[in-house]
């Protein structure tokens, strides 16, 4: 568990925690000519690093104002803040709520979550939409966008986008929801597109720019080791800053997934699930549980009233990995309603498709909306299957379930953040029953996130070569922007001391 190891953290030095990986060397970096020279700092760069940066953000905040009502004179559309349009390129990312953005000829969508496709609907006609194949399937299915606008792109293959002045894009798996990707753009600045009053002086120059748009992502070593990214200087990183605050500490996703699968397997098999917690509750609970369990391979005819139903709360898209792992561990199928099943079938995942069933009795794992994972809602749900399931185990995966103890460090050194994160483990024994759990309805909160933890954002930032980090989440308030800017500045300073390193990782899938 990675909750707090303040006592052990302070001794770790920078060099021991951000050890240099042999995979990234200075030679692999972009040629010197392509890197920004101090002397040719663009007006844009200057403004982004001075008081004008705040003005650009203020302009953006005004554009995003909740109470803003566009007038007819303004073209009846909300203006796009600067961070929605790539500097000097006719490309907008996750910017559908702004309608037809001046100068933009290519609209990119990172993934099919509603806050990223706001306003995208069947009446879309502002220009071509580029996204992954799974995201294309989802927007066609859910939003009925005219297929003539939707252009799925292959993953990992650099692809030139028409009408953009030769910009090449590579899609990289984001480790967020199905279909989600990072966009790595490479090209020259050819146009002043967008609504921002701040203009780049590099438009028309021969300099190559690289932008990495992270959409929503859970950062892993795979991202920084991807051939499109590895060893390249990235001018701008558009960062998913959902959890850019050291209080957001949660365990690596693969460990949480296997913990859920193992806990479900043990409960259904009637095995002990772990040591008692400090007040001994777990053992008491388990003593009761271990009686009269049915094993998954036991035919339901033999013990019809003893089967345990496993329920997992999900959103419309996301958390599928946890669902698959639990179903596979229990050697059972997944049941959900037809609407959810249709969404799952948009994903090109034959393994997932083969696990789906429309029979709630055949499926030992049921998917319900996250809001259904409360004792008073699950009870009547399980009662619908009386005679088949006698009780239920429910998982409630939510982004962040940990509250730091008061007095814990607000601003730990980068080295401590990294060493603590690397020491973080998680097993089935760390999953604790939620309040209001009972013998018949046992609920577990799961610290499962499809966004990067603060530790992972730090590792990511320390492991690639970037000029500017542009926050894309929690940018509405000056206070929140200032807090995030402080961390970006600290990453930058730390990187200057530790050039060209990839933070040492435990597995390719997590730091």
Instruction: Please say which residue, 78 or 113, places its beta carbon nearer to Zn ion.
Output: 113
DSSP 259-290: HHHHHHHHHHHT-------TTSHHHHHHHHHT
Least distance to Zn ion from the beta carbon of 176, Å?
A: 5
For 440, other C-beta atoms within 10 Å of its C-beta total: 15
* Helix, strand, coil distribution of the chain in percent, nearest 5: 35, 20, 50
Residues forming the site for Zn ion (CB under 5 A): 113, 216
Least distance to Zn ion from the beta carbon of 238, Å?
A: 14
Which tokens sit at 182? 């990072």
Closest CA to 249 of 433, 416, 421: 421
CA 44/CA 201 separation, integer angstroms: 7
Instruction: Please say which residue, 113 or 340, places its beta carbon nearer to Zn ion.
Output: 113
DSSP 367-410: EEEGGG-SHHHHHHHHHTTTTTEEEEEEEEEES----PPTT--S
What residues contact residue 293 under an 8 Å CB cut-off, 6+ apart?
A: 267, 268, 269, 270, 306, 308
For 406, other C-beta atoms within 10 Å of its C-beta total: 5
Instruction: Please say which residue, 107 or 217, places its beta carbon nearer to Zn ion.
Output: 217
CA 420/CA 453 separation, integer angstroms: 12
Least distance to Zn ion from the beta carbon of 281, Å?
A: 35
Instruction: Please say which residue, 131 or 441, places its beta carbon nearer to Zn ion.
Output: 131
3-state secondary structure of 133: helix
Least distance to Zn ion from the beta carbon of 320, Å?
A: 13
Burial class (CB in 10 A: 0-12, 13-18, 19+), 70: middle
Least distance to Zn ion from the beta carbon of 471, Å?
A: 15
Longest dimension (CA), the chain: 79
CA 320/CA 23 separation, integer angstroms: 32
Instruction: Please say which residue, 265 or 340, places its beta carbon nearer to Zn ion.
Output: 340
CA 373/CA 503 separation, integer angstroms: 37
Instruction: Please say which residue, 216 or 235, places its beta carbon nearer to Zn ion.
Output: 216
CA atoms within 13 A on the CB side of 75: 10
Least distance to Zn ion from the beta carbon of 317, Å?
A: 8
Least distance to Zn ion from the beta carbon of 135, Å?
A: 11
Instruction: Please say which residue, 308 or 346, places its beta carbon nearer to Zn ion.
Output: 346
First to last CA, the chain: 15
Least distance to Zn ion from the beta carbon of 216, Å?
A: 4
Instruction: Please say which residue, 444 or 448, places its beta carbon nearer to Zn ion.
Output: 448
Least distance to Zn ion from the beta carbon of 384, Å?
A: 32
Parallel, antiparallel or unpaired: strands 106-108 and 356-357 = unpaired
Can you point out the beta strands (E) in 22-155? Answer: 91-93, 106-108, 129-132, 150-153
Least distance to Zn ion from the beta carbon of 94, Å?
A: 10
What are the backbone angles phi and psi of residue 392, rounded to the nearest 5°?
-140, 150
Instruction: Please say which residue, 135 or 416, places its beta carbon nearer to Zn ion.
Output: 135
Instruction: Please say which residue, 195 or 216, places its beta carbon nearer to Zn ion.
Output: 216
Least distance to Zn ion from the beta carbon of 472, Å?
A: 11
Which tokens sit at 122? 């069947």
Instruction: Please say which residue, 44 or 83, places its beta carbon nearer to Zn ion.
Output: 83
Least distance to Zn ion from the beta carbon of 181, Å?
A: 11
Instruction: Please say which residue, 217 or 426, places its beta carbon nearer to Zn ion.
Output: 217
């Amino acid at each position: 568990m990675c909750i707090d190891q303040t006592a052990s953290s302070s001794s770790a030095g920078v060099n021991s925690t951000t050890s240099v990986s042999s995979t990234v060397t200075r030679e692999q970096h972009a040629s010197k000519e392509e890197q920004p020279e101090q002397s040719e700092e663009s007006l844009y760069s200057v403004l982004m690093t001075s008081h004008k940066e705040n003005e650009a953000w203020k302009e953006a905040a005004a554009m995003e104002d909740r109470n803003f009502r566009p007038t007819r004179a303004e073209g009846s559309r909300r203006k796009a803040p600067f961070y929605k349009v790539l500097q000097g390129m006719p490309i907008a990312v996750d910017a559908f709520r702004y309608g037809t953005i001046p100068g933009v000829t290519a609209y990119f969508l990172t993934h099919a979550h509603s806050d990223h496709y706001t306003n995208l609907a069947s009446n879309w006609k502002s220009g071509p939409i580029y996204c992954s194949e799974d995201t294309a399937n989802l927007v066609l299915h859910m939003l009925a966008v005219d297929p003539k606008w939707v252009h799925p792109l292959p993953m990992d293959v650099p692809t030139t986008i028409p009408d953009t002045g030769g910009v090449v894009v590579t899609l990289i798996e984001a480790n967020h929801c199905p279909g989600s990707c990072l966009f790595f753009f490479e090209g020259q600045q050819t146009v002043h597109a967008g609504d921002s009053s701040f203009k780049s002086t590099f438009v028309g120059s021969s300099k190559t720019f690289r932008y990495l748009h992270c959409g929503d992502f859970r950062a892993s070593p795979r991202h920084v080791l991807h051939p499109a990214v590895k060893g390249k200087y990235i001018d701008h990183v558009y960062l998913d800053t959902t959890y850019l605050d050291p209080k957001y500490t949660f365990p690596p996703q693969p460990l949480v997934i296997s913990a859920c699968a193992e806990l479900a397997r043990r409960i259904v098999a009637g095995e002990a699930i772990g040591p008692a917690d400090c007040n001994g509750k777990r053992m008491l609970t388990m003593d009761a549980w271990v009686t009269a369990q049915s094993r998954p391979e036991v035919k339901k005819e033999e013990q019809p009233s003893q089967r345990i139903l496993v329920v997992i709360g999900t959103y419309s898209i996301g958390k599928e990995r946890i669902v698959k792992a639990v179903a596979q561990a229990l050697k059972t199928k997944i049941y959900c309603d037809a609407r959810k099943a249709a969404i799952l079938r948009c994903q090109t995942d034959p393994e997932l498709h083969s696990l789906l069933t429309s029979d709630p009795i055949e499926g030992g794992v049921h998917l319900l909306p996250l809001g259904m994972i409360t004792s008073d809602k699950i009870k009547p749900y399980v009662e619908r299957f009386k005679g088949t399931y006698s009780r239920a185990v429910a998982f409630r995966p939510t982004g962040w379930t940990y509250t730091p103890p008061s007095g814990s460090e607000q601003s730990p050194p980068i080295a401590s953040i990294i060493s603590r994160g690397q020491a973080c483990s998680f097993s089935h024994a760390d999953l604790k029953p939620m309040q209001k759990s009972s013998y018949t309805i046992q609920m577990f909160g799961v610290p499962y996130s499809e966004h990067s933890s603060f530790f992972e954002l730090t590792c990511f930032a320390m492991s690639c070569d970037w000029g500017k980090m542009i926050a894309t989440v929690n940018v509405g308030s000056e206070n929140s922007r200032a807090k995030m800017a402080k961390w970006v500045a600290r990453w930058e300073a730390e990187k200057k001391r530790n050039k060209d390193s990839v933070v040492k990782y435990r597995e390719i899938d997590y730091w």
